[in-house]
């Protein structure tokens, strides 16, 4: 319903006109809905990264050449980051609600220099 209201506020009654870049930039709630959908249903449930050098993390040694798995499905359901994680709530992705979230708490397409999976 909010998406329909947002689209109506942008396009009015002119449903046949093509969208512009400016229109797309104004679709903040639609963007939040898409992000929340990708949080709950990630395109890839996990991805791998190789360790390039020995690393100590919280007292655990991650040896060079080890392969790490990032479990995106679980990451996106961390209740410390996303309270009530099973509930669909696009408001999680408003500018205000994203402000203090760690940038790697939400990884629908991976992260880093080769970040699209």
Query: Binding site for heme: what residues are annotated?
Result: 116
1 with 33: CB under 8 angstroms? no
| 2, two tokens | 């909010």
Residue 82's CB is within 10 A of a number of other CB atoms, namely: 20
Angle between helices 28-40 and 2-11 (to 10 degrees): 150
Those residues with Cβ within 8 angstroms of residue 1's Cβ, 6 or more apart along the chain or in another chain: none
Query: Binding site: what residues are annotated?
Result: 116
62: β partners: 55
């Amino acid at each position: 319903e909010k998406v329909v209201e947002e689209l109506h506020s942008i396009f009015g009654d002119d449903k046949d006109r093509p969208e512009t870049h400016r229109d797309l930039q104004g679709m903040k709630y639609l963007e939040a809905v898409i992000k929340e959908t990708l949080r709950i249903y990630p395109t890839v449930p996990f991805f791998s990264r190789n360790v390039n050098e020995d690393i100590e993390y919280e007292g655990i040694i991650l040896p060079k050449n080890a392969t790490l798995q990032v479990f995106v499905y679980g990451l996106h359901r961390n209740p410390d980051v996303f309270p009530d994680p099973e509930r669909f709530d696009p408001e999680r992705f408003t500018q205000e609600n994203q402000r203090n979230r760690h940038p790697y708490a939400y990884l629908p397409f991976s992260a880093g220099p080769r970040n699209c999976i």
